[in-house]
Structure 1
């Protein structure tokens, strides 16, 4: 089998209302796909090609992949990742990620099994939390409480909310309201998206400890490893981070700080499925759990494949008006609050071309 072509597709559609986290506002949803074709008619689809620089990097990598056997994922990963020249961190590594995810989708299709089974098949139902709690125009404490109540009514056993865009006092009050709304038995995660300096993160942690957050995610800048250690020593709330970390080397350095309890590894960012599995194995050697950040469509397979997969991040229609229309297989909560990977060969991200067509921009 040989790779015959590599193409990208980008789609973009507006949100009804912009959503804001601790530092950034998002007015649109962007979906980037990379498609790898072969001489045997099997196509692999990868996620994460929505950025123009990532697309350019994929075009740069294309001549290095044409004619190669797509099943040789380890060989191809190292052919692309040459940190002296390209791929050490940043958007070029994200381009490698998108290609690698497509290669694994193709590999699983050739094997005739869902990706999670090809990778190990640890379970077929994964614990899940609904991510939300964004800041929005006209959304006060009442509306925030209603959103979280709706999530629990859907069957969620865990939910996540944003902090970092308001004062520490105001955000502590938001956490209080959410805890009182969902009750003591639902896990509540708080996510700052790197909005704080260390001393600010410590102040917020002290204020919200009584509400028993399941974790405090991305409290400070991702490269402030020493700051994560200071924060971890100052609070009983487990610290989670890693969604903006790259490759096994970055996660090695995070783990060595002995400050992060949960790693939010993202296969779309860190280097794809190939590198994600190495990060998971490294974390397992230190008894550290993985709770991936990013698209549920790929990460449901990865959490299901590993023994130290803690929980899946799940986005619903409140943050994406095209939810349920993007792919032919839509992930949904099971009656026990878990999510199961699609029981189809590959990842199960064949796009709904008819629904997406009006939104294609590249």
Structure 2
């Protein structure tokens, strides 16, 4: 990552300790952390670029997401021309209708002028958020973009410490904050960022790692929505954990077991072992 491996190591240790403490207390981790709610809204992440995947195939993917119970979907932009991506966004909106929320994720693909341009072009498709339009350190750029676009700006997956989030938030660079506990030092730092965001009336939508973040999101009052990956996005995901999350009517709930609920299906991993 952009700031090295140290906070990731700390995060792993921190989450292991949370899991251990919750198991000692015989309660799920989210209840140990506060237990604000028992379920949260989730969106299906996808809409990736793939060889041979055109507008028709993109639409078919989104139709499948609706069948799975999605009330919100996310798609990638920034990998092709702005006009081509606008057509992709249009296709998704026409496919899912006007009652489903659409997020777009650029993975830091744009400079400020490009981000303003595409935001202006896709605004009419009622975009729920515009994720990571700029490089993560461009706090001034995020501030300008947020002031010029009516689309809520979401970012934070590449922030490694609470100090980066502090600068982002104080500069009004984003409306939706996206910490990743596995990157930024674990649940301890995640909860600090969530609390600081709450004092600025901002909501939390964690990046990835759904089996961990469901616990943290259910523990905070300003949790917005969970990033959710289905099996066709990561075929191994559903094979790894015993307590796999299930999407139902756009919502997911943490497993009702002590700890984080990250129990591994060891037998399913046997065929992948190299030693």
Is 1:133 matched up with 2:47?
yes
What is the aligned counterpart of 2:201 among 287, 308, 321? 287
Aligned counterpart in structure 1 of residue 72 of structure 2, from 151, 158, 162: 158
C-alpha RMSD of the superposition: 1.3
1:326 counterpart (240, 249, 253): 240
Which range moves more in the overlay, 181-190 or 228-237? 228-237
Aligned to 1:355: 268
Q: 2:16 aligns with which of 70, 89, 102?
A: 102
- 1:117 aligns to 2:61 (yes or no): no
CA positional deviation for 1:318: 1.7
User: 1:138: Cα distance to partner?
Assistant: 1.1
Measure the CA separation in 1 of the matches of 2:25 and 2:109: 43
Higher Cα Rg: structure 1 or 2? 1
Distance (Å, rounded) in 2 between the aligned partners of 1:303 and 1:226: 28
Q: Using the alignment, how far apart are the partners of 1:235 and 1:221 within structure 2? A: 17
Q: Take 1:163 and 1:275, find their aligned partners in 2: how far apart are those partners?
A: 30
Distance between the aligned counterparts of 2:102 and 2:5, measured in 1? 31
Q: Which fold has the larger relative contact order, with Cα–Cα distance below 8 Å and residues 6 or more apart in sequence?
A: 2
Equivalent residue number for residue 21 of structure 1:
none
SS at match of 1:214: strand
| Secondary structure of 2:42's aligned partner | strand
Structure 1's consecutive aligned runs of 4 or more residues displaced over 6 angstroms after TM superposition are none
Displacement of 1:262: 0.2
Q: Within 2, Cα distance between the matches of 1:318 and 1:257? A: 38
Q: Whole-Å Cα distance in 1 between the matches of residues 97 and 196 of structure 2? A: 35
TM-score (norm 1): 0.74
- Alignment-derived partner of residue 60 in structure 1: none
Query: 1:33-112 maps to which residues of 2 (within 5 A)?
Result: 89-112=3-26
Aligned to 1:176: 90
Task: Say if 1:283 and 1:289, in contact at 8 Å, map to a contact too.
Answer: yes
Write out per-residue CA displacement over residues 256-277 of structure 1, whole angstroms, 9 at most, x where no aligned residue: 1112000011101111001001
Shift of 1:129: 0.3
Q: Which residue of 2 aligns with 1:341?
A: 254
Larger proportion of strand: 1
- Could you say which residue in structure 2 is the equivalent of 1:4? none
Deviation of residue 89 (structure 1)?
4.1
Give the Å deviation of 1:323. 3.2
**1:90 shift after superposition:** 2.8
1:73 maps to: none
- Do residues 206 (structure 1) and 124 (structure 2) align? no
The question of whether the paired residues in 2 share the 8 Å contact of 1:268 and 1:294 is answered with no
Secondary structure of 2:221's match? coil
Aligned residues: 275
Separation in structure 1 between the aligned mates of residue 144 and residue 25 of structure 2, nearest angstrom:
47
Which sections of structure 1, spanning at least 5 residues, go unmatched? 1-50, 52-87
Question: CA 1:289–1:118 in 2, change beyond 3 Å: closer, same or farther?
Answer: same
Calculate the TM-score normalised by the size of structure 2.
Answer: 0.97
Query: Deviation of residue 359 (structure 1)?
Result: 1.9
Which of 214, 238, 243 in structure 1 is aligned with 2:152?
238
Contact 1:130 1:315 in 2 (8 A): yes
Distance 1:199 1:249 in 2: 27
- Find the counterpart in structure 2 of residue 298 from structure 1: 212
SS at match of 2:240: coil
In structure 2, the residue matched to 1:249 is 163
Q: CA deviation at 1:230?
A: 1.4
SS at match of 2:102: strand
Aligned with 1:166: secondary structure?
coil
